[in-house]
Structure 1
Amino acid sequence: MNVTIISIVAIYLVICILIGVWATRRTKSASDFLVAGRSLGMFVMAIAAFTSIQSGFGLLGGAGQTFTGGMGFAAGVLIAAPLGFALTWFLVGKRIWMMGEHGDVFTLGDVVEKRYNSRSVRGWLGLAITLGVIGYLGTQVQAMGVIMHSIFGVSPAVGALIGLGILAFYSVGGGIIASVYTDLFQGVIMIAVSIVIFFFALNVGGGMQNITETLQSSDPLLASPFGNFSLITIACWFLLFSLGAAGQPHFINKFLMIKSAKELRWGAFTAGLAYAITVLLVVSIGLTARTLQIQGRFPEVASADDSLVVFVTAFTPSVISGLVLAGLLAAIMSTGSGFVTLGAASLVRDIPRAFGKEVKNELLWNRIVVFGLLVVSTLFSFYMDTLVALLGVFGWGTFAAAVFPAVVLGLVWKRATKQGAVTSIILGVFLNFTFEILKKYGITILPEGVVVGAISLVISILAFVVVSLMTQPQETAEMEQPPLEVMEG
């Protein structure tokens, strides 16, 4: 209950509310609510893309994984995520933007319906995104509870509800406009905080050499490049955060929001660099906190997820601590606001249109559904009750397996068919949810170290390719090719 920390966080929350009020006044239509009126420039879009990917899962959960197992989690993400940004910009950035230029395209459901000339693909993708949003948003709920508990002394459950109330305030009214501009504000905070805390944490740990020697004295693997994680786990993380990044709908749908193809330049570099800087915070705090624990100087923590918050509140000045906690809330809320808007679009626009129905007054219903998704995601997070990082990998993996083949591969591979797309979407969702639920009840099917999302992504891609090849002769005459031909031209 430090006054300085509370004041800094309170100022941050007030600014988010003010941005929400401003965005609500600017939001006049479904286009504004879902794609910001296609008005974003490169810097705003790139920072919004970075902040939507770097969430409470990446910062809070990543620091916890580094605290527990060393460099493995960061090594699997630090290289893979910036690579994922580059791949996404190169593979589908211009393609998705040009689809938006040639029609009433606000969602990925609109994109796949045009690509495959199929309402069924649209409906299944909308369902997959809705389920993934519930799972991934649950990560943000848990992370928000941890931060609010540390700042205000309330229980994690109450803390989560406080944070969700503020998130609901600006998300319900301002939609994606509120999301991207709070993302811009929050992204700048995250980058600045990461640079400051990196050097501060290394100093608290006695320098990199002392940290390395201390870790080696306890467990030589902790100081190794991959930590005490198995190589198969590192490989799974690398796959998920490189190719899987292109399957994150809260990221790739932002290509529908930019005002010109010229704004794509330097976007991948800007977003990738920003993400890499924030990983410095994860690495420095995770390794330093573990070093202090080995030396007997770190307080006991109930969960590895608490290590980042405990470190900044116990070992940094109040001003720095307040900025870090505000930065964490920024990461959580920026991702959460993007998610609920995305899920609402699927439920209000994509799934009804898959059945040939159009919802009247989409703007009003999007706002109503945003609130409902926040409630459902909160209940889901309390049910799963697992580590933030692990729940985040689940949500990320669900999106990657269900979205990457149908959307990304479908846009770059002419021979892709609607049957292949539907098969990959259903299989991706089914595998992720089945494996995770079985694991929750102690039933393990996959070999030790294999990440569910990664194996689901591989199987989903294979199914997409095989089924597309099998259905190609029948599908060729029916496919709607003009969007691809226009893009290539």
Structure 2
Amino acid sequence: MNSTIVVIVSIYLLICILIGIWATRKTKSASDFLIAGRSLGMFVMAIAAFTSIQSGFGLLGGAGQTFSAGFGFAAGVLVAAPLGFALTWFLVGKRMWAMGDLGDVFTLGDVVEKRYNSRGVRGWLAFAITLGVIGYLGTQVQAMGVIMHSIFGVSPAVGALIGLGILAFYSVGGGIIASVYTDLFQGVIMIVVSILIFFFALNVGGGMQNITETLQSSDPLLASPFGNFSLISIACWFLLFSLGAAGQPHFINKFLMIKSPKELKWGAFTAGFAYAITVLLVVSIGLTARSLQIQGRFPDLASADDALVVFVTDFTPSVIGGLVLAGLLAAIMSTGSGFVTLGAASLVRDMPRAFGKEVKNELFWNRIVVLGLLVISTLFSFYMDTLVALLGVFGWGTFAAAVFPSVVLGLVWRKATKYGAMASIILGVSLNFLFEILNKYGVHLLPEGVVVGAVSLVISILSFVVVSLLTQPVTSEAGSKVLNVT
């Protein structure tokens, strides 16, 4: 426990609480809770989109994977994600806004029901999103435990619970308003911290040339473009994190929140550029820490996920260390707040409406379900005891397989049908969970290096196209209107 770090992080957490109090006072309806009353401008929306994608999975897990095996994770994931921002803005930005302009559209479930005129698609998508939220939020729980343990000296489990308590405070009260404005605050922290630590880490490692030479002396592959990862793994990650980015519901749902389509201009560049800056933190710490380990100057690690935190606490001044750890908590909590709101909307709004029912007082029940999802996700993360990056790939793959075909392709392809959408959701999500559970118990059905989420995404897309072509196209009037948007 370093007093300077504790003070800096405590101030950060206090500001999050204050934003939560402010957002709670502004949240008066389900529209406020779920889509911020459609009031966001370009900069707030773009930074919120970037922070929702760049999470504890990307920073903590990415640094751990870079420490373990070199550049591969950065090449396959962290470079592909900014490309995903551009694809998403181009494919569905205006179309999603146009759906929201039809009125009473707060969730992706609302979007697909209007697009396909089908409550069945809404129900299956809500089910898939709920499962993905539990899995992906588990990533944030694990990462939060690691950070809080390093800052306050408590066990990772207790640290996770402390962080979740603060997350619950502002998520339950302020909903998506609290989420996007804490995202804005947290995003600025992440950008500033990434720039600072990049130059500091290179200096600690003796410069890029010295770091590269040290890595090559131990294992030449560590300094190669793809590290120790196979080309098939890199290709899978690139597919999953470029196309798959457009299938992340906590990201594309934000297009329903902007006040005008004019706010879309420069959004993709802003979000992608901000994300690219944070890649500097991941790569510089991962490679520098591994270089120091090879030289015998870095402590032994219980897990590769500890590399970033150990470097920050042992090799940086307290002020920089406090800012970095606050930035990590920012990445974790910004994504977590978006997830729980999204999951609550699926359970409170989409599931009941899929069966022809409506929940009275949605605002109240959304707040109750947020608490429940935080508890369930915590239990899931303790069961799926694996590296943060790998657990994050699992959650990301679940979302990509369910959402990319049914929502993104559905909004741009006229021949898409409700049967194709349901087939893609059911098959994609089922395969992702089946393969991951089998892998958990040592049963590996896929060739080594093949990423489960990428396979699930490809099969989901194929099933969507084939089943849609085999069934009679049925497009609602609302869906036709949005398909004409360019």
After superposition, the C-alpha distances for 1:304-344 in whole angstroms (9 at most, x for unaligned) are 00000000000000000000000000000000000000000
Match of 1:257 in 2: 257
1: CA distance between counterparts of 2:236 and 2:69? 16
After superposition, the C-alpha distances for 1:442-485 in whole angstroms (9 at most, x for unaligned) are 000000000000000000000000000011xxx33x42144333
2: CA distance between counterparts of 1:211 and 1:481? 59
Percent of counterpart pairs with the same letter?
87
Match of 2:105 in 1: 105
What one-letter code is carried by the residue in structure 1 that aligns with 2:80? A
The answer to whether residue 115 in structure 2 is matched with residue 115 in structure 1 is: yes
What one-letter code is carried by the residue in structure 2 that aligns with 1:375? V
CA contact 2:46–2:271 (8 Å) conserved in 1:
yes
More deviation, 193-202/69-78: 69-78
2: CA distance between counterparts of 1:322 and 1:260? 38
CA contact 1:129–1:399 (8 Å) conserved in 2:
yes
For residues 25-36 of structure 1, what are the structure 2 equivalents within 5 Å? 25-36=25-36
Match of 2:232 in 1: 232
2: CA distance between counterparts of 1:262 and 1:76? 32
The answer to whether residue 58 in structure 2 is matched with residue 58 in structure 1 is: yes
- Once the two structures are TM-superposed, the CA of residue 78 in structure 1 deviates from its matched residue by 3.2
The answer to whether residue 76 in structure 2 is matched with residue 72 in structure 1 is: no
Match of 2:475 in 1: 479
Match of 1:151 in 2: 151
2: CA distance between counterparts of 1:486 and 1:122? 17
2: CA distance between counterparts of 1:137 and 1:401? 17
CA contact 1:344–1:366 (8 Å) conserved in 2:
yes
Match of 2:246 in 1: 246
The answer to whether residue 6 in structure 2 is matched with residue 3 in structure 1 is: no
2: CA distance between counterparts of 1:29 and 1:87? 32
CA contact 2:95–2:482 (8 Å) conserved in 1:
no
What one-letter code is carried by the residue in structure 2 that aligns with 1:479? T
Q: 1:482 to 1:37 in 2, by over 3 A?
A: closer
- Once the two structures are TM-superposed, the CA of residue 353 in structure 1 deviates from its matched residue by 0.0
- Once the two structures are TM-superposed, the CA of residue 486 in structure 1 deviates from its matched residue by 4.8
2: CA distance between counterparts of 1:390 and 1:152? 26
- Once the two structures are TM-superposed, the CA of residue 267 in structure 1 deviates from its matched residue by 0.2
1: CA distance between counterparts of 2:76 and 2:205? 23
Runs (5+) with no aligned partner, structure 1 = none
After superposition, the C-alpha distances for 1:353-401 in whole angstroms (9 at most, x for unaligned) are 0000000000000000000000000000000010000000000000001
What one-letter code is carried by the residue in structure 2 that aligns with 1:368? I
2: CA distance between counterparts of 1:352 and 1:431? 25
What one-letter code is carried by the residue in structure 2 that aligns with 1:485? K
2: CA distance between counterparts of 1:364 and 1:279? 39
For residues 328-339 of structure 1, what are the structure 2 equivalents within 5 Å? 328-339=328-339
- Once the two structures are TM-superposed, the CA of residue 10 in structure 1 deviates from its matched residue by 0.1
For residues 34-433 of structure 1, what are the structure 2 equivalents within 5 Å? 34-433=34-433
After superposition, the C-alpha distances for 1:79-133 in whole angstroms (9 at most, x for unaligned) are 2111100000000010000110012100000000000000000000000000000
1: CA distance between counterparts of 2:234 and 2:155? 34
1: CA distance between counterparts of 2:48 and 2:80? 19
What one-letter code is carried by the residue in structure 2 that aligns with 1:400? A
SS of corresponding position for 1:297: coil
- Once the two structures are TM-superposed, the CA of residue 487 in structure 1 deviates from its matched residue by 5.1
2: CA distance between counterparts of 1:98 and 1:436? 36
- Once the two structures are TM-superposed, the CA of residue 77 in structure 1 deviates from its matched residue by 2.1
Match of 2:484 among 463, 467, 488: 488
What one-letter code is carried by the residue in structure 2 that aligns with 1:236? C
1: CA distance between counterparts of 2:70 and 2:185? 31
After superposition, the C-alpha distances for 1:163-189 in whole angstroms (9 at most, x for unaligned) are 000000000000000000000000000
1: CA distance between counterparts of 2:219 and 2:79? 24
1: CA distance between counterparts of 2:167 and 2:102? 33
- The count of corresponding residues between Structure 1 and Structure 2 is 485
CA contact 2:398–2:429 (8 Å) conserved in 1:
yes
- Once the two structures are TM-superposed, the CA of residue 429 in structure 1 deviates from its matched residue by 1.1
SS of corresponding position for 1:403: helix
CA contact 2:423–2:463 (8 Å) conserved in 1:
yes
CA contact 2:73–2:234 (8 Å) conserved in 1:
yes
What one-letter code is carried by the residue in structure 1 that aligns with 2:259? K
- Once the two structures are TM-superposed, the CA of residue 76 in structure 1 deviates from its matched residue by 1.0
What one-letter code is carried by the residue in structure 1 that aligns with 2:320? I
What one-letter code is carried by the residue in structure 1 that aligns with 2:298? F
After superposition, the C-alpha distances for 1:48-101 in whole angstroms (9 at most, x for unaligned) are 000000000000000000000000000112321111000000000100001100
CA contact 2:38–2:258 (8 Å) conserved in 1:
yes
What TM-score, normalized to structure 2? 0.99
CA contact 1:312–1:321 (8 Å) conserved in 2:
yes
2: CA distance between counterparts of 1:133 and 1:238? 22
Q: 1:479 to 1:487 in 2, by over 3 A?
A: closer
SS of corresponding position for 1:104: coil
CA contact 2:88–2:252 (8 Å) conserved in 1:
yes
2: CA distance between counterparts of 1:370 and 1:107? 15
CA contact 2:236–2:451 (8 Å) conserved in 1:
yes
- Once the two structures are TM-superposed, the CA of residue 225 in structure 1 deviates from its matched residue by 0.4
CA contact 1:98–1:487 (8 Å) conserved in 2:
no
SS of corresponding position for 2:135: helix
After superposition, the C-alpha distances for 1:1-28 in whole angstroms (9 at most, x for unaligned) are 1000000000000000000000000000
SS of corresponding position for 2:302: coil
Match of 1:444 in 2: 444
SS of corresponding position for 2:464: helix
SS of corresponding position for 1:328: helix
CA contact 2:136–2:392 (8 Å) conserved in 1:
yes
SS of corresponding position for 1:300: coil
1: CA distance between counterparts of 2:13 and 2:67? 29
2: CA distance between counterparts of 1:397 and 1:277? 24
Runs of 4+ in 1 over 3 A off after TM superposition: 481-487
Q: 1:486 to 1:231 in 2, by over 3 A?
A: closer
